[in-house]
Structure 1
Amino acid sequence: MLGYLLRRVDDPESAADLVAEVFVAVWNRLGDVPADGGARPWIFGVARKVLGNHHRGARRRSALTERLRAELNRVHVVRPETADQSLRDIGAVFRTLAEADREVLALAGWEGLGPSEIAVAVGCTRGTARVRLHRARGRFARALRKAGVDIGGAAAPERPRPLQRPVTKGASS
């Protein structure tokens, strides 16, 4: 079995892991093993299916890695040492807000979540999330005015879009 899988994957460690997966699958399906001497080809059939799952998983991981790489290249991150004074002032005021306000504002503004998603993240109803977000935005705006921060001149960084799963035909999840 190891030789069969070694010839079909790139590294010996993956082949060894796949051998273990094959025999776990065989163990879980002991009642399905043919009794008339057909066990060996049946086990190779199981190995073929495990190998197919391995290759599909590798393709999914590769696609996700590429999407993440593209997203990281697209997102402009403003670092404190390179931000202009207005952005630093906005950040300083933001840090003075209550933790709950910072959380809903960050989830909405930086993570791109809507009220329904914020509700799930913070453990409340959608309506409560909408109210919290509205009130947090108001408190933030008042705090900015009170601190004399001119947000009109601040160049806001591009807000990152959340990663979207690709739509595939026949996918059901």
Structure 2
Amino acid sequence: MNTDKGDRTARIENAVRLHAAPVLSYLARRVAEQEDAADLLAETLLIVWRKAAALPADDAEVRPWMFGIARKVLMHHYRRATYQRTLGDRLRSILAATPHAGFSDPTEYDDLHKAIAGLDMVDRDIIGLVHWEGFSLVEVSRILRMKEGTVRSRYHRARTSLRAELDQGSSPTGRAVNPRAPQVRDALAT
């Protein structure tokens, strides 16, 4: 082992032992969630190890050096959080302005959405990709990376299950309790 490299490793280990707790306190006072402080400390220490060659020769400079790295990590965290909030706000405004297509409005088709929620996750995906996204069963098989025959049989079974579930919501006279139920059943029959 190179003595210079071994000396630098020992100095980094000593710096981490001495200064990790104060750096963690610094980060914890500046973030909303304490779990974020622990993640930011881990990121800071990773950078300290990667930049071991840049470790100041003067021991008195090591603490400010580590805090400088922690500050850069914290600034990156703030930028990332701001970007995520801005993106989330933009997406929410787009979704609010986009009308629900077909049977996708859960407020109007609550019975259908409850029935779909009772399906297996893969079956929900198949129904959604066909009826809401407009894909053919061949395209769905490519998207899900499943055999076409498997997708066809799962689709048929899911539609049958949904029709049966929706028929249970009918009155004893055979008339649907929800006036839109026949429209939904007809769409599932095609």
Structure possessing the higher relative contact order (Cα contacts under 8 Å, 6 or more residues apart): 1
More helix by share: 2
TM-score (norm: length of structure 2): 0.44
TM-score (norm: length of structure 1): 0.48
* Larger Cα-atom Rg: 2
